[in-house]
C-alpha cells in the first residue's frame, strides 16, 4: 500500500490511528477527578505534539541517517514562522500559501548554511551550525527588527494589506488563519458522561501534514538515497576513497531536514500567528536533539514519541504544584504528607527539567535505541514467554 512494504504500511496506519484517536487517548481521566491533571487532550498541546513531531522527523533524516549532529536547526524553525506570518500579513490568511513560502524559504536558508557547514564534519560541523543559528537569532532579535519585530516578535495588524481576502474580518477584528473557510481554532466538543473530548480543526490539519511528512520520511529511509546516507554514517571516509563525492548527499539531507523544520515553523504560526526570535535560540535546537535521542535515533516513529514525551512533561508535569501534591497525599498523616511533598516537589513544577534529565540519562545508559528499543524489548519479552508456553514439552524416553 502506498508503495510501502507490509511492515511500513502497518507502522503508517498505526501512527494514523493514534493521531486520529488522540482526543480519546489523551483524555483517559474524567473531568473534575484528581487524575484529570494528567489529561493532555486539549487542542494547544495536541497541536504541539504533531508539530514538534514533524520537526523531529526532519531532524532525524539528517542526524539519524547521516550522523551529522546539527545544533542550529531551530534557525529554520524560526525562518518558517517568520515567512508564514509575512504571508498572512501581505497576501492571505489561508495557511497553504504560508506553508509553501515557509518551506521554500527554509530550504533556501538550509542550502546556504549547509553549503558552508558541511565543509566540516563531527564537532566542527555542530559548532558551525550553532554559530549560524545564533547569528540568525541575533539578527532577528535586534538588527532586522523592521522585518522580524525584534523583541516583541512579528504580529498581525489591522493595517496589513492582505491582498486576497481583506485586512479586516466581518466582525471588525484581525482575521485568523484558516483553510478555505475553516478556521484553525474551530473546535467541536463531545461529552460522554464525565468525559469531555475536544476535536480541533487545527490539530487534525497539522496531524494530516504530519502523516504526509512521516510517509515521505519512510520513502526516504527505504530509498537508495537513504541507503547512501546510511553508508555515509557508517564510514564516510571509505566512500570518499572510492571516488564518490558524498557532499551532495549530505547537503540534500541537510536541506530536506531544514524544510521539515520550516514546515513545523509554518504550522506553529498557523495555530498562533506570531513569530518571535526565541524560536531560533540554541535551546530550541537542543530540544529537538533530545527528542530524537529520547525516541530513538535512526528509527521512524522514535522522534514522534520523543517529541510527545518531552512536550507532555513540559506542559503537564511542569504544572503540578505543591497544592496539587498536598491534595494527592491528603489521606496520609500530616508529617508523612509533608515529607512526601518535600521529596517529590523538586522533580515537578519548575523542576521538571530535573526529571527529564534523569529520564534522558537512564535512556542513554540502558536504552541506547531510545523508547523504540524499550518497546522492542518488551515485545520480545512477551513473545519469548508466549513461545515458551506454546512449545511442546520434550518427551522423556524410558531408560533401557
Give the residue, 330 or 393, on which the prediction is more confident.
330
User: Residues 277-326: pLDDT tens digits?
Assistant: 998 998 899 999 999 999 999 999 999 999 999 999 999 888 888 888 88
Query: 373 exposed, middle or buried (CB, 10 Å; 0-12, 13-18, 19+)?
Result: middle
User: What is the pLDDT confidence band of residue 399, given thresholds at 50, 70 and 90?
Assistant: very low
Q: What is the DSSP letter of 73?
A: T
Give the residue, 29 or 171, on which the prediction is more confident.
29
b/e string for 82-111 if b means 16 or more Cβ within 10 A?
A: bbbbbbbbebbbbbebbbebbbebbbebbe
User: What is the pLDDT confidence band of residue 166, given thresholds at 50, 70 and 90?
Assistant: low
Locus of grid cell 487542542: 43
Q: Is residue 396 included in any domain, yes or no?
A: no
User: What value does the mean pLDDT take over residues 337-360?
Assistant: 88
User: What value does the mean pLDDT take over residues 332-353?
Assistant: 88
| Angle 97-255-90 from CA coordinates, rounded to 5° | 25
pLDDT score recorded for residue 169? 65
Whether 218 has a pLDDT exceeding 70, the answer reads yes
Q: Is residue 216 included in any domain, yes or no?
A: yes
E strands, the chain, are 154-155, 178-179, 182-183, 187-192, 195-200, 274-275
Q: Is residue 337 included in any domain, yes or no?
A: no
Q: Is residue 316 included in any domain, yes or no?
A: no
Whether 398 has a pLDDT exceeding 50, the answer reads no
Whether 136 has a pLDDT exceeding 70, the answer reads yes
The string of DSSP letters for 6-23 reads HHHHHHHHHHHHHHHTHH
Beta strand pairing status for 178-179 and 154-155?
unpaired
User: Residues 70-98: pLDDT tens digits?
Assistant: 999 999 999 999 999 999 999 888 999 99
Contact 203, 47 (CB under 8 A): yes
pLDDT score recorded for residue 395? 55
Q: Give the mean pLDDT of the chain.
A: 89
Nearest to 24 by CA among 52, 46, 49: 46
pLDDT score recorded for residue 50? 96
Q: How many domains does the chain have?
A: 1
User: Residues 92-126: pLDDT tens digits?
Assistant: 889 999 999 999 999 999 999 999 999 998 999 99
Q: Is residue 347 included in any domain, yes or no?
A: no
> Structural domain of residue 143, as residue ranges?
6-29+40-279
Contact 261, 77 (CB under 8 A): yes
Q: Is residue 141 included in any domain, yes or no?
A: yes
pLDDT score recorded for residue 21? 94
Q: Is residue 92 included in any domain, yes or no?
A: yes
Give the separation between CA 227 and CA 66, rounded to whole angstroms.
10
Q: Is residue 226 included in any domain, yes or no?
A: yes
Q: What is this structure's pTM?
A: 0.91
Amino acid at each position: 500500500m502506498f508503495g510501502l512494504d507490509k511492515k511500513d504500511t502497518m507502522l503508517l496506519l498505526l501512527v494514523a490511528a493514534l493521531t486520529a484517536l488522540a482526543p480519546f487517548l489523551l483524555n483517559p481521566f474524567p473531568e473534575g477527578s484528581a487524575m484529570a491533571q494528567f489529561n493532555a487532550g486539549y487542542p494547544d498541546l495536541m497541536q504541539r505534539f504533531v508539530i514538534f513531531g514533524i520537526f523531529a522527523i526532519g531532524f532525524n533524516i539528517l542526524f539519524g541517517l547521516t550522523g551529522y549532529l546539527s545544533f542550529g536547526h531551530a534557525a529554520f524553525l524560526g525562518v518558517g514562522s517568520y515567512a508564514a506570518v509575512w504571508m498572512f500579513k501581505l497576501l492571505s490568511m489561508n495557511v497553504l500559501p504560508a506553508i509553501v513560502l515557509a518551506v521554500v524559504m527554509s530550504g533556501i536558508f538550509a542550502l546556504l548554511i549547509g553549503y558552508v557547514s558541511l565543509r566540516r564534519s563531527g564537532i566542527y560541523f555542530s559548532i558551525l551550525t550553532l554559530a549560524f543559528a545564533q547569528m540568525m537569532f541575533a539578527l532577528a532579535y535586534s538588527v532586522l527588527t523592521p522585518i522580524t519585530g525584534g523583541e516583541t516578535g512579528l504580529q498581525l495588524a489591522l493595517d496589513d494589506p492582505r491582498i486576497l481576502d481583506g485586512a479586516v474580518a466581518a466582525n471588525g477584528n484581525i482575521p485568523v488563519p484558516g483553510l478555505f473557510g475553516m478556521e484553525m481554532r474551530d473546535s467541536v466538543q463531545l461529552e460522554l458522561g464525565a468525559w469531555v473530548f475536544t476535536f480541533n480543526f487545527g490539530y487534525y490539519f497539522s496531524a494530516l501534514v504530519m502523516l504526509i511528512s512521516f510517509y515521505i520520511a519512510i520513502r526516504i529511509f527505504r530509498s537508495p538515497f537513504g541507503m547512501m546516507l546510511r553508508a555515509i554514517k557508517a564510514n564516510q571516509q571509505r566512500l570518499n576513497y572510492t571516488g564518490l563525492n558524498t557532499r551532495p548527499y549530505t547537503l540534500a539531507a541537510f536541506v530536506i531536514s531544514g524544510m521539515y523544520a520550516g514546515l513545523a515553523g509554518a504550522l506553529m504560526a498557523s495555530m498562533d500567528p506570531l513569530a518571535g526570535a526565541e524560536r531560533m535560540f540554541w535551546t530550541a535546537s537542543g530540544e529537538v536533539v533530545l527528542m530524537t535521542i529520547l525516541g530513538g535515533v535512526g528509527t521512524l516513529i522514535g522522534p514522534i514519541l520523543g517529541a510527545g514525551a518531552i512536550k507532555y512533561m513540559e506542559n503537564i508535569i511542569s504544572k503540578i504544584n505543591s497544592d496539587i501534591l498536598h491534595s494527592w497525599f491528603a489521606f496520609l498523616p500530616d508529617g508523612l504528607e509533608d515529607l512526601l511533598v518535600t521529596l517529590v516537589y523538586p522533580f515537578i513544577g519548575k523542576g521538571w527539567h530535573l526529571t527529564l534529565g534523569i529520564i534522558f540519562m537512564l535512556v542513554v545508559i540502558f536504552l541506547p535505541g531510545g523508547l523504540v528499543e524499550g518497546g522492542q524489548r518488551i515485545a520480545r519479552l512477551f513473545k519469548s514467554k508466549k513461545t515458551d508456553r506454546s512449545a511442546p514439552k520434550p518427551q522423556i524416553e524410558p531408560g533401557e
